[in-house]
Amino acid sequence: MKTIVIYHSQTGFTKRYAQWISEAAGADCLELSAAKKKNLSGYEAIIFGGWACGGSISKISWFKSNIDKWTNKKLIAFCVGGSPIDSPEVEPALKRNFNELELKKVNIFYCPGGFNYEKMPASSKLMMKMFIKMLKAKKEKSETEQEMIKMISSSYDISDKKYIEPILQCLKK
């Protein structure tokens, strides 16, 4: 199946997953800005990956605005975030990015990435600083919130190639 993986990445985790998927699937791989200039009509499968930002998948609006045009293609979207794969918030947050009709047409997946403060632009660093400050200021913090503060206060990497397996299986179906 002629496949392209298109990604939008800020600090490199989504790019890494896009490259893993394209290598394993023998697919082309392009950053979003380059993909926008390309004619995608010859592809039978389009995989889009964006990073999680406040529950939204970055640049997912571009992908969704093309769904009607991409009839008879297999459509896959994956989101890369800092949350671990077993976090209860992941599944509902992922689904909130799509309406019912879109969910019927698009296969969606989550891949854990991490945080890389060294590569993060100042605007994102500031947003994270404010978010951590807000969490710390909460009077009655749940155990999850306390763990989250510890986790996101510095860089970490929980990405793993194994998380692309469900995406590869979906491509084969």
Ligand X SMILES: Cc1cc2nc3c(=O)[nH]c(=O)nc-3n(C[C@H](O)[C@H](O)[C@H](O)COP(=O)(O)O)c2cc1C
The nearest distance, CB 124 to ligand X, in angstroms, is 4
> Contact region for ligand X (CB under 6 A) — 27-35, 37-45, 66-74, 108-116?
108-116
CA–CA separation, 108 and 110 (whole Å): 7
Q: If binding is defined by CB under 6 A, does position 113 make contact with ligand X?
A: yes
Q: If binding is defined by CB under 6 A, does position 92 make contact with ligand X?
A: no
Q: If binding is defined by CB under 6 A, does position 78 make contact with ligand X?
A: no
Q: If binding is defined by CB under 6 A, does position 97 make contact with ligand X?
A: no
- Which CB sits closer to ligand X, 13 or 73? 13
* Kind plus residue range of the DSSP H or E element containing 20: helix 13-25
Q: If binding is defined by CB under 6 A, does position 57 make contact with ligand X?
A: no
Judged by CB under 6 A, the number of residues near ligand X is: 22
* Phi/psi of residue 26, nearest 5 degrees: 65, 40
Show the 3-state SS of 123-172.
HHHHHHHHHHHHHHHCCCCCHHHHHHHHHHCCCEECCCHHHHHHHHHHHH
> Contact region for ligand X (CB under 6 A) — 23-31, 38-46, 98-106, 120-128?
120-128
The nearest distance, CB 172 to ligand X, in angstroms, is 25
* Phi/psi of residue 159, nearest 5 degrees: -75, 150
Q: What distances in angstroms separate CA 157 from CA 30, 103, 112, one per listed residue?
A: 23, 29, 9
Q: If binding is defined by CB under 6 A, does position 81 make contact with ligand X?
A: yes
Nearest to 52 by CA among 105, 131, 118: 131
- Which CB sits closer to ligand X, 6 or 80? 80
Which residues in this chain contact ligand X in the complex, by CB under 6 A? 9-14, 51-55, 80-83, 113-115, 120, 124, 127-128
